[in-house]
Structure 1
Amino acid sequence: MTIVAIIIGVVIASGVYFYIGLSRLSENAELQENNIENIGNENQNGAEDNKESINILALGVDIGTAGAESERDPKRTDTMMVIHYDKLSKAVSIVSIPRDTLIKVNKKNTKINAAHAIGGVRYAVDAVEKLLDIDINYYGKVNYEGFREIIDSIGGVDIQIENNMDYDDSAQDLHIHFKKGETVHLDGKKAEEFFRWRKNNNGTGLAEGDLGRIENQHAFISKVMDKLKSPKIIPRIPSIFMTLPKYAETNMSGDEIIKYGYAFIRSGDVNIETLKGHTKYIGGISYFVYDKNKNKELLSKINNVTVDNKVNIDKSKLNIQVLNGTDKTGLAARYREYLREKGYNNISVGNTEYSEDTRIFLSKNFNNKQVKYIKQDFKINNIKNIEKNDEKFDIIVILGKNNKVIQ
């Protein structure tokens, strides 16, 4: 009994210590939770959020200007991923965003990896929310030094090398040397080298450049997830909790870190994908151009809205009218395109008298489950019944001044 009591006492004391350590992670966060939820929130006007479904933006920042010592030296994101967790399905999905992805900042073309250098976490979160039309609930950020220390804290991972890697950059003190076919134990330093490599000094390397590098990163992340799920990680938990507060930054509380960290480890297979698109030169600069149509299935996995698709709605047969109740030209037409992307075909557009409120009028043919589905699909919560003289339509949408779905 004495031994049991001692063990329980140690566990409780350790838990308190680790909790305090984890709580320190958010002390210096650039954005707190209440701030981050208001950034670029395009879904406020309708979608019923699944509160157990979250998106975390993971940011890995580079060294900035070589030789610079100032903490304010602008740092781009070398790695950017959205981690999605849905408690209902217990699924974890990770989506990598290529660092050369084209976005607009202050109405000028730029690469998404520059957003953090321009405006810190706030700009990075805003860029991802606008690009993918999702809400980011939390973020986590680490630099290369932190990455090395965190990997060391878990004891590193073993991985098979798929390419000859031979690269030296004295300016960054970066030296990468791995041989194809060998299995290497990656400690923090070697993990950074593996994570960053995409070409050799002689010009050979990954044919797809950064996209190929992302595939290497996915392989590495899978190995890390396997390590975290292994019983062998238990003795290293103290080291992990001591390392995280020193090198990582997040707006998650200690409670949330424990809650979602445990959920990730308990989940089954983690789905890891990369945004689809194509490379294009604009003004002599190579960009990765995100293609929304090619990412519909991927986006459905990271959207914070849970929709029951078994509602027996034939979208192709619904007659829909979209009316613009604002002074914004073309608003109804843009919303029509949004609906067409979701599979609705029979859509007419027009203008109506000025309206403050955005709302949907539905015929009486829809059951409760179908009404909920439509609210989520259309991203509009304000539902009313169609009047008799408008019964030729199944759905009428009036876009008012408070519309947040389409700008």
Structure 2
Amino acid sequence: MKVRKIVFWTSLIFSILLFAQGIYTLKSFNSEDIQYFSENTPIIKTEYQSKDSAIHDSVNMLVLGLDDEELRSDVIALINFNPEKKNINILSIARDTRVKTKGKYGKINALISKGGEELVISEVEKITGLKVDYYVTLNFKGFREIVDVMGGVEIDVPMDMKYDDPVQNLHIHLKKGKQILDGEKAEQFVRYRKGNRKGEGYEDGDLGRIEAQQLFFKEFIKQKFKAKYILKAGSIFSILNENMKTNVKISDIDFFVRQFKNIKINEINTFTLPGESVYKNGVWYYIYNEKKTNELIKNNFR
């Protein structure tokens, strides 16, 4: 059973879905567990090499949720853990955030197809002034399958959500009201921003979608923070192994075990990159506010 726990929680700690939930079982880890896991468990594929972090410094993990084509990152979140304060902060970055690479402006969500995780990390570091130590990339196929394995998530959908985009093969059809979302509907909920008709959707566009994503993740953690879900270990690890890419190494597990065991759910704070939506040259961009961003980072992420 110990091995199944290790596989389960080690895998989920790398995913925004259950990042905080992993704290529950980390308390039962010991050095023998880590050694056994290292010798007997397949390693999730890695590419970009992480930078060494001093034990007393904050640790930052960038989480990217890719669309089915894996050409855009619809979810961009920077997870910050401070070993001294024992808290976790999550900074959501709007997918339409304007960035400048190679002298040209574009949206941050398109960088994954141009330069992979390394290019996205570079831009996030410029925006926040923080060093990104780790990254996790999870596609929506994995997202859907994990939600299904965990039995869905109950969400109070704030409005009727209807949107069809044949180009992205994205079709959203959700009714207003409290309901249990399976994997397919959960994806629709976290990706919805506007309808096909003018005036439909969130008034604040991408910021509304970010708030919905944060709500979903909080509810997911709250509802699934239970020991019985350890029994889902094998299925979840298989899903992550097929749909996730990370630079977290087996040797990093000991750090997570020692540092995360005292975290509590109510010590997870969510923030959104400050800024505003602007229409420029026929394209909607989210222009982040550098001054407010610096203040937010200084007060919460250092």
TM-score (norm 2): 0.80
Change (3 A) 1:239 1:279: same
The counterpart of 2:142, out of the listed 142, 146, 155, is 146
Residue number in structure 1 paired with 2:43 = 24
Does 1:217 find its partner at 2:204? no
In 2: Cα distance, 1:144 partner to 1:213 partner:
16
Tell me which stretches of 4 or more aligned residues in structure 1 moved more than 4 Å.
15-18, 20-23
Residue number in structure 1 paired with 2:184 = 189
Change (3 A) 1:92 1:264: farther
The counterpart of 1:273, out of the listed 263, 271, 275, is 271
> Is this contact kept in 1: 2:78–2:92, CA < 8 A?
yes
In 2: Cα distance, 1:16 partner to 1:54 partner:
21
What is the DSSP-based 3-state SS (H/G/I as helix, E as strand, rest coil) of the residue aligned with 1:217? helix
> Is this contact kept in 1: 2:174–2:185, CA < 8 A?
no
Residue number in structure 2 paired with 1:334 = none
- 2:96 is aligned with what amino acid? D
Q: How does 1:93-242 map to 2 (within 5 A)?
A: 93-180=89-176, 182-203=177-198, 204-242=200-238
- 1:123 is aligned with what amino acid? L
| 1:23 Cα deviation after fit | 5.1
Residue number in structure 1 paired with 2:282 = 284
In 2: Cα distance, 1:83 partner to 1:54 partner:
8
Residue number in structure 2 paired with 1:319 = none
In 2: Cα distance, 1:301 partner to 1:84 partner:
13
> Is this contact kept in 2: 1:22–1:244, CA < 8 A?
no
Instruction: Write the deviation string for residues 251-283 of structure 1: whole angstroms up to 9, x where unpaired.
Output: 112454575389289423211111111222333
In 1: Cα distance, 2:146 partner to 2:253 partner:
15
> Is this contact kept in 2: 1:55–1:302, CA < 8 A?
no
Question: How many pairs were matched up?
Answer: 270
Q: How does 1:313-328 map to 2 (within 5 A)?
A: none
Name the % identity.
35
What is the DSSP-based 3-state SS (H/G/I as helix, E as strand, rest coil) of the residue aligned with 1:211? helix
- 1:183 is aligned with what amino acid? K
What root-mean-square deviation, in Å, do the aligned CA atoms of Structure 1 and Structure 2 show? 2.7
Residue number in structure 1 paired with 2:12 = none
Structure 2: state its 5+ residue gaps: 9-36
| 1:33 Cα deviation after fit | 1.8
- 1:96 is aligned with what amino acid? S
What is the DSSP-based 3-state SS (H/G/I as helix, E as strand, rest coil) of the residue aligned with 1:135? coil
What is the DSSP-based 3-state SS (H/G/I as helix, E as strand, rest coil) of the residue aligned with 1:163? coil
In 2: Cα distance, 1:258 partner to 1:161 partner:
39
In terms of mean alpha carbon deviation, does 113-122 or 250-259 score higher? 250-259
